[in-house]
């Protein structure tokens, strides 16, 4: 495997891993924010406070589809790169970088 390919593979694997964490974070934040809004409503909080928290929730929910799209694109790029490397150098399948990339791809959530 070429040095440039190995470096690119590590970078793209890192991108996929980071985006998986980012998506998970946004999904957790969405749940937490909804609970916060529900608590404010139950406590008869000021309308302004509830409205502001809903704005925060809306910002979070708009980021989730964007994050999913970026993750899908990154996954496709990584799959293509792994495929290209394996086609050009079949012995690369034993590489730790290839194994890490394939593990990152397998660890992706099923629904995206």
Instruction: Give the pLDDT of residue 112.
Output: 58
Position 80 confidence tier, pLDDT thresholds 50, 70, 90: very high
Distance CA 82, CA 99 (A): 10
Instruction: Give the pLDDT of residue 28.
Output: 97
Distance CA 73, CA 16 (A): 9
Query: Where on the phi/psi map is residue 44: left (φ > 0), alpha (ψ -120 to 50), or beta?
Result: left
Model confidence pLDDT, tens digit, residues 13-35 = 999 999 999 999 999 999 999 99
Instruction: Give the pLDDT of residue 111.
Output: 61
Would you tell me how many other CB atoms lie within 10 Å of the CB of residue 101? 23
**pTM of the full predicted structure?**
0.84
Would you tell me how many other CB atoms lie within 10 Å of the CB of residue 23? 20
Position 95 confidence tier, pLDDT thresholds 50, 70, 90: confident
Instruction: Give the pLDDT of residue 37.
Output: 96
């Amino acid at each position: 495997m070429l040095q440039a390919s190995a470096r690119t593979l590590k970078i793209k694997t890192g991108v996929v891993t980071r985006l998986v964490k980012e998506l998970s974070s946004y999904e957790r934040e969405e749940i937490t924010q909804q609970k916060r809004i529900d608590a404010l409503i139950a406590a008869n909080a000021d309308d302004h406070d509830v409205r502001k928290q809903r704005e925060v929730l809306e910002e979070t929910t708009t980021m989730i589809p964007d994050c999913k799209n970026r993750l899908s694109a990154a996954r496709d790029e990584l799959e293509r790169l792994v495929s290209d490397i394996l086609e050009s150098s079949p012995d690369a399948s034993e590489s730790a970088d290839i194994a890490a990339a394939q593990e990152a791809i397998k660890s992706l959530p099923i629904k995206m």
